[in-house]
Amino acid sequence: MISDDEKVEFLRELVSIYSPTGHEDSVARFIVDSFESFGVEAYIDAVGNVVAEKRGNGKRILLAGHMDTVSGLIPVRIENGELWGRGSVDAKGPLATFFFAFIESNANLIFAGLVEEEGFSKGAHNLQVEKPDYIIIGEPSGVDGVTIAYKGSLTMKFVERVEKFHGSHAAKGPAEKLIDKWLLLSRDFEGGFNNASGRIVRFNAYERDFDFYAEMVVNIRIPRGYTPPIKGEILDFVPAYEVSSRSPLVRAFVKAIRKNGMNPRLKKKSGTADMNILGPKFKADAIAYGPGDSRLDHTSYEHINLEEYLNAIETLKTAINELKML
């Protein structure tokens, strides 16, 4: 029996390993070593993902979380029952939840710790495992929440060039032309799951020889059926994803949350996750689950309630048991 203190210490160590996108090697090694300390074989695949498998009863379930975080160090500390640190919510809290649910469940499971989710999802695109029947993605939904849908993501690049002119002339330079394009792109942006939203990721204006140049990279979170009013060079595209609320996977989590004394909440999120990739890739129903408040993602206030983290492990184990009985 693994104690709560051990589970908290594992999460503290996991969060203490700084692993911004593209620098997941140390955290991958830590997870492999931790699996081996519990007698579980694990390996690092060709792109850097950590994979562990166990044979058990019932349907094949993939537990897939990501090991990378956005950049920005937050001193790791525990205060008032909360663990502070980069990745505590997004998404090492959910990843640690998956780790212990995998160890403590007698089920047919695949664990995948994925690389570069905060980039272009290199880990998810290149994951090579046996086809699962169900997929659970490690993202903060709250211990009583199940995420059944995410918007898609469209990243585009725009470039403008004009011949140099004197600053006294009433002419638009390339930067101003790109600003016009952004205003056109963003004119219908609204909040909520059913509308597009986005931001400028990178903007650069410069001059070379006899020309002015400007480049702009934008990311748009897109609902189903969205077509941008103008198109640039597509750098990355991930379609929106939604699983039916009547899916056996969703029903299993609803039952598990209720069995653990909570009222379940089904969520549709305006972000994008590896769920959008792995669900269609394996043609299997997928949801996202994990402890933590997603409003803290990427912020300097990122922290997770440790009681919620421990409850999420038990809830996930209950959900896995429900899926075994299908």
Catalytic residue numbers, as ranges: 68, 117
Q: Are 40 and 55 in contact (CB under 8 A)?
A: no
Listed in sequence order, the residues at least 6 apart from 323 whose beta carbon sits closer than 8 Å to its beta carbon are 58, 59, 61, 107, 134, 248, 249, 252
Q: Please give the span between the terminal C-alpha atoms of the chain, in angstroms, as a whole number.
A: 27
Of 228, 231, 159, whose CA–CA distance to 197 is shortest? 228
Sign of torsion over alpha carbons 316, 321, 324, 326: negative
**Which amino acid would we find at residue 143?**
V
Q: Measured between alpha carbons, how far is residue 80 from residues 83, 140, 305 in Å? A: 9, 20, 9
**142: left (phi > 0), else alpha (psi -120 to 50), else beta?**
left
